[in-house]
Structure 1
Amino acid sequence: MASSAKRRQLDPAAEESETEEEESGDSSGESEQEVQQEVQVDFEAHTISDSDHNGIKRLLQQLFLKASINITELADIIIQQNHVGSVIRQAEILDGNNEDGDEDDIFGFITVINLTERKGMESVEQIKELVLSQSKSHHQGTAEQLDKILNDNSKPVSFLISERFINVPPQISLPLHKQLQTELMDAHKSNKPCGKSHYYLMISKTYMEVGKKNMPQQKGKVKEELMFTNAEEEFFYEQSVITYSYSVQEDSDSCLSGRWSFDDIPMKPLRTVMLIPADRINAIINKLEEYLTI
């Protein structure tokens, strides 16, 4: 069972945009009106608990889409090691009038899974197979390098997962990443499996303009061609030692795929794999503080 919840407000100014359609009741056949509203929403971070299982699976599904990953087992692992990581919830409403929401709804989560320590588990091996198989189509040298790193037990690799719904603002990522690093240091001191990592592996939801013939191969082109659904992950990209992108356009047949257009320009959904040395995380967090602090 999960431990008692840690709770803190992540971003008191966070706003969640909603679009509501109101259909006129006038019998004259008046067309529907689209009304843009900004709804003030406060978010809090909580300890991951058993009740988050379905919400975590839903967020994992938006990352992996149709890839052959046992997301049920992956969600079990995340809940089992709830001494690291957090889920994002809407802050409690003081008057208790929360009839429109489910207290178990989560808007996102962050955690790490030590792939080296959990070697042999089905979901872990499937994640490794996914990134290796996609890297082979990118460049054989990249595939060989990544395969060597993933199988080097002396330098543990952890899978860093930071998933949230698209309308949750990036500012909340800063306290989440800082809290996660604090928890990982505590886990390392107590010799827990997830506490030590030499590398972090990430799979980021990205997209680029339809019609671009090639995936961006040079980091200098990232701002020109590659766009990140979670904006802060560009800083992880810049610090990565291995990175490549692959298309998930054929898998993206539902709303889980994220944006299909950007300023009326059709976009191609991608996944971008990144391998980041653990000793670069502090530099990344410093960048997050510089650009995301309100």
Structure 2
Amino acid sequence: MASSAKRRAIETGVNVQDSKESSDEGLEESGDEGSENSEEEINEEVIVDFEAHTISDNDFHGIKTLLQQLFLKSHVNTSDLTDIIIQQNHIGSVIRQAEVPEDSDDEGDPDEVFGFISMVNLTEREGVECLEKLKDMILEQCVKSSSPDVQEKFEELLLDSAHSIGLLLSERFVNVPPQIALPMHKQLLKEMAEAQRTNKPCGKCQFFLMISKTCKPAKKSISGHGQPKDELLFVNDEEEFFYEQATLKFSYSVQDEADFCATGKWSHDDVPMKPFRTVMVIPMDRMGTIMDKMTEYLSV
């Protein structure tokens, strides 16, 4: 049963685009003018209330679906990873739509998950198969996509238990605005501080490991030397602040695993986009700076 122990309402506007007019009757009344309007893009702002809840067993399908959009066809077992996230439900939240009035026409699933945030301590869970597969995948992609120096540093960080590193997972559907990220990250940090106070594994991380959905323009730069750094586009806008503070990072293509950019941003100014994943390591002591920038950017 979903708990409301961490229930926070977040009101935000969502842009909805539709190329069709609302009714045939309206088109008939307006004649040629209506026909012209029907070809125009409609921009309508819909106000939706979201609430954060403690993660529960009911959230398995929703969390797994969001993990699958991150890991695509990789060998990471998203079912097992979802189980771990649910088992440690003292940390993390899921986002659902706020309670809909009985007279509303909205018949959506009240348990539908629109987003979630969690953190899994990779060091404390050394030997867990799905997490070992995840580390193997990261190191394999690192070999293909980065320099030997970066490879060496990632191997040291992921394979040496002297470093306590937590996998930070923050996923949502593309039509959910970034404003929800601010209270979710703030709550997660509070829970980590409480976990540290009570000597739980989730509170002992020195570093965050993050895998972000990113895109780059498909066309190479004029110089022919690859893409400039500023052409890396983040699907979750706020994750650019993590990128700026990361001490270790690389990106790898997932074009062969995705049919499209899978981001809701299939083009940027009509430029075809290629899907990537960007792996980042962020020292825990830089989270204050990240939260300050996120607060400035996302506060409404």
TM-score calculated relative to the size of structure 1: 0.89
> How far apart are 1:14 and its partner, in Å?
3.2
Which of 201, 205, 213 is residue 213 of structure 2 equivalent to? 205
- Which residue identity is paired with 2:14? E
Deviations for 1:7-49, whole angstroms, at most 9, x for unmatched residues? Answer: 0112x2332525364584899xx89766443211111111111
Does 2:195 align with 1:196? no
Q: By how many angstroms is 1:3 displaced?
A: 5.3
| Corresponding position of 1:72 | 79
Q: Which residue of 2 aligns with 1:171?
A: 179
The C-alpha deviation readout for 1:239-271, integer Å capped at 9, x for no partner, is 101111111111112684543212211111110
Instruction: Note the aligned Cα RMSD (angstroms).
Output: 2.3
User: What is the aligned-residue identity percentage?
Assistant: 51
Q: How does 1:242-261 map to 2 (within 5 A)?
A: 242-253=248-259, 256=262, 258-261=264-267
Contact 2:50 2:96 in 1 (8 A): yes
1:151-190 equivalences in 2 (<5 Å): 151-190=159-198
Structure 2 counterpart of 1:124: 131
1:136 aligns to 2:135 (yes or no): no
Please name the residue that 1:45 is paired with.
52
1:2 is displaced (CA, Å) by 6.6
1:283 to 260, 276, 289: 289
> Structure 1 CA distance, aligned partners of 2:183 and 2:263?
26
Tell me how far 1:121 sits from its aligned partner: 1.2
Counterpart of 2:286, as a letter, is R
SS of residue paired to 2:133: helix
* The 10-residue stretch of structure 1 (35-44 or 275-284) with the greater mean CA deviation from structure 2: 35-44
Distance verdict in 2 for CA 1:231–1:58, change over 3 Å: same
Equivalent position of 2:31 in the other structure:
none
Is the 8 Å Cα contact of residues 245 and 272 (structure 1) preserved in structure 2? yes
Q: Bigger CA drift: 94-103 or 18-27? A: 18-27
**What SS does structure 1 have at the residue aligned with 2:44?**
strand
- Residue 232 (structure 2) pairs with residue 232 (structure 1): no
Residues 16, 40 of structure 1: 8 Å contact kept = no
Checking the alignment, whether the CA contact within 8 Å between 1:14 and 1:169 is kept in structure 2 is yes
Question: Which residue type is aligned with residue 279 of structure 1?
Answer: D
- Give TM-score, length-normalised by structure 2: 0.88
Equivalent-residue separation in structure 2 for 1:182 and 1:267 (angstroms): 37
Indicate if the aligned counterparts of 1:18 and 1:39 stay in contact, CA closer than 8 A: no
- Measured after TM superposition, the shift of residue 100 of structure 1 is 2.3
Give distance in 1, aligned partners of 2:112 and 2:242: 28
C-alpha offsets along residues 159-201 of structure 1, whole Å, 9 cap, x if unaligned? 0011011111111111111110000011111111211101100
| Conserved 8 A contact 2:12-2:179 | no
**Does residue 109 of structure 1 match 2:116?**
yes
CA distance in 2, matches of 1:96, 1:232: 36
